[in-house]
Amino acid sequence: MERGLYAAATGMIAQQTIQESIAQNLANTNTAGYKADVPTFKAVHGMALRRAADGAAVGAGIGEVGMGVGVDRVYTDWQVGPQAVTSGPLDASLDPGQFFAMETARGTRYTRAGNFQLDSAGNLTNSSGLRVLGADGKPVKIAGSVPPKLQPNGTVTVDGAVVATLQIVDAANGALAKDGDTLFSVTDARGVRPAARPGVHPGTLEQSNVNAVSGMVRLITVSRGFDMAQRAILTQDDLLKHAANDLARV
């Protein structure tokens, strides 16, 4: 009986974890370059069953009874989001697997969000004010009053003259991990290298890869699953109370 309580309780925790992940994804539906979180689960507290021999469970194994589920890990969905045409001279999206490099207080971080702008000092920055890094590892700074333009090869031009080259890297799946604000940090340096052929698409932005409609439907499903697990706990608790009372009378 207690096994059922454990299974139902871990089921509630799992549904809550999924709900939090979906809510986080939905909150970033309109965030450029956002990648959805996908939680995965594994069986926990498995209990092996063995065939009884001479009154003891020492015979051949006949299977395992699960005691519930637990969070395994949260994966990042690297699927490329839809591309929106903005016509902004400093907006850009990238080919799959490529990332822009950003300067942060914690070191270099990478992003697929290419909604860039110039600050008052002429630094090329993202929407959060972080400076974009060039191929030389230094922040890109544009002098003069003529508006710069991003080119498909990753260079920045002013009046047709190249004034900077963006640092763009190729990153394998699993080489980067989320670090907040559409940024990613390196977890495996072997999987991150300068892009041999940068694929920049000026005047466009990669949108979030979250499907809002699918997320709302999943929220309803998760809510119902949570309610079912909760009812299972209440039912088993009621059965335990009846069993305790009946045994007391016997």
The model's confidence at residue 173, banded by pLDDT at 50, 70 and 90, is confident
Report the C-alpha gap between 139 and 122 in whole angstroms.
10
- pLDDT for residue 47 is more than 80: no
Query: Buried b / exposed e across 200-233, counting CB within 10 Å, b at 16+?
Result: bbbbbbbbbbbeeeebeebeeebeebbeebeebb
| Residue the block writes with tokens 């490099």 | 101
* Tens-place pLDDT, residues 126-158: 989 999 999 999 999 998 888 899 999 999 999
Question: Same domain, yes or no, for 132 and 237?
Answer: no
Domain residues for the domain of 153 are 83-206
Question: Same domain, yes or no, for 200 and 236?
Answer: no
- pLDDT for residue 63 is more than 80: no
Question: Same domain, yes or no, for 12 and 89?
Answer: no
- pLDDT for residue 76 is more than 90: yes
Residue with more model confidence, 107 or 4: 107
Question: Same domain, yes or no, for 67 and 157?
Answer: no
Question: Same domain, yes or no, for 99 and 176?
Answer: yes
Question: Same domain, yes or no, for 68 and 110?
Answer: no
Report the C-alpha gap between 124 and 126 in whole angstroms.
7
Would you state the pLDDT for residue 179?
94
Would you state the pLDDT for residue 243?
72
Cβ-Cβ contacts under 8 Å for 192 (sequence gap 6 or more): 110, 169, 170, 171, 172, 175, 176, 186
Kindly report the pTM of this predicted structure.
0.81
Adjacent-strand bridge partners of 74? 39
Q: Are the C-beta atoms of 102 and 133 separated by less than 8 Å?
A: yes
* Tens-place pLDDT, residues 193-246: 999 999 999 999 999 999 999 999 999 999 999 898 888 888 887 877 777 777
Question: Same domain, yes or no, for 6 and 114?
Answer: no
Question: Same domain, yes or no, for 114 and 165?
Answer: yes
Question: Same domain, yes or no, for 178 and 68?
Answer: no
Question: Same domain, yes or no, for 50 and 101?
Answer: no
Residue with more model confidence, 202 or 11: 202
- pLDDT for residue 125 is more than 90: yes
Structure tokens at 32: 């450029």
- pLDDT for residue 59 is more than 90: no
Residue with more model confidence, 69 or 181: 181
Question: Same domain, yes or no, for 9 and 88?
Answer: no
